[in-house]
Amino acid sequence: MNDTDTELQDRIGIEAALRGYAYGLDERRWEAWDLVFTEDAIIDFTPMGGKRETPAQMSARLSAPDPAWLFAQHPLINTVIEIDGDEARAFSDYQMETGRRAETPGEIIRVSGGGSYIDLLRRTGDGWRVYHRSVSLKWRERRQVKDEISR
């Protein structure tokens, strides 16, 4: 394998880890989520006023039964990856949409927002894994709207 092939494989592995976070979180597929992180990983929401926690703490908190929860979606865009041997840094913008049942029948609370992730990754025996994710929020909007998809 030449250097170009190795770099392409590294970039594909890094992209898979970054997207596995969003997929696991949004779809509540914690088995996919667990494949994203190293054992010592930290997710840091303090840049946007949140908390710093391990992936296990975050998934435990978000997997608790919540009858109001309807959906979440976090597409990644503008990803820039810098690889240095067995370490990498990735910057990605994201846009998020979440939905929860409102107290008013037939309506939902939608939260839209956007921000950025800065991820630090390392190559492991199981592929590229995130060991630190920093999350920043650039904008956010909360509104109550008609539920156009009955659930």
54 and 43 in contact (C-beta within 8 Å)? Answer: yes
Q: Please, are residues 15 and 79 in contact by the beta-carbon 8 Å criterion?
A: yes
Pick from 118, 139, 133, 138: which is nearest to 44 by CA?
A: 133
H/E element holding 3?
helix 3-26
Chain center to CA of 73: 9
Per residue in 27-50, pLDDT (tens digit) is 999 999 999 999 999 999 999 889
Q: What is the pLDDT of residue 60?
A: 93
The CA-based angle 81-86-89, given to 5 degrees, is: 25
What is the rounded CA–CA span in Å between residue 49 and residue 93? 18
pLDDT, tens digit, 9 for 90 and up, residues 97-115: 999 999 999 999 999 999 9
DSSP one-letter code for 9:
H
Residue boundaries of the structural domains of the chain: 3-146
| Structure token pair of residue 99 | 């939905």
Domain 3-146 has CATH 3.10.450.50: yes
Percent of the chain with pLDDT over 90: 86
Total-model pTM: 0.91
Mean pLDDT by 10 residues, the chain (151 residues): 82 96 93 94 94 95 91 95 97 96 94 97 97 96 88 55
pLDDT score for 83 = 97
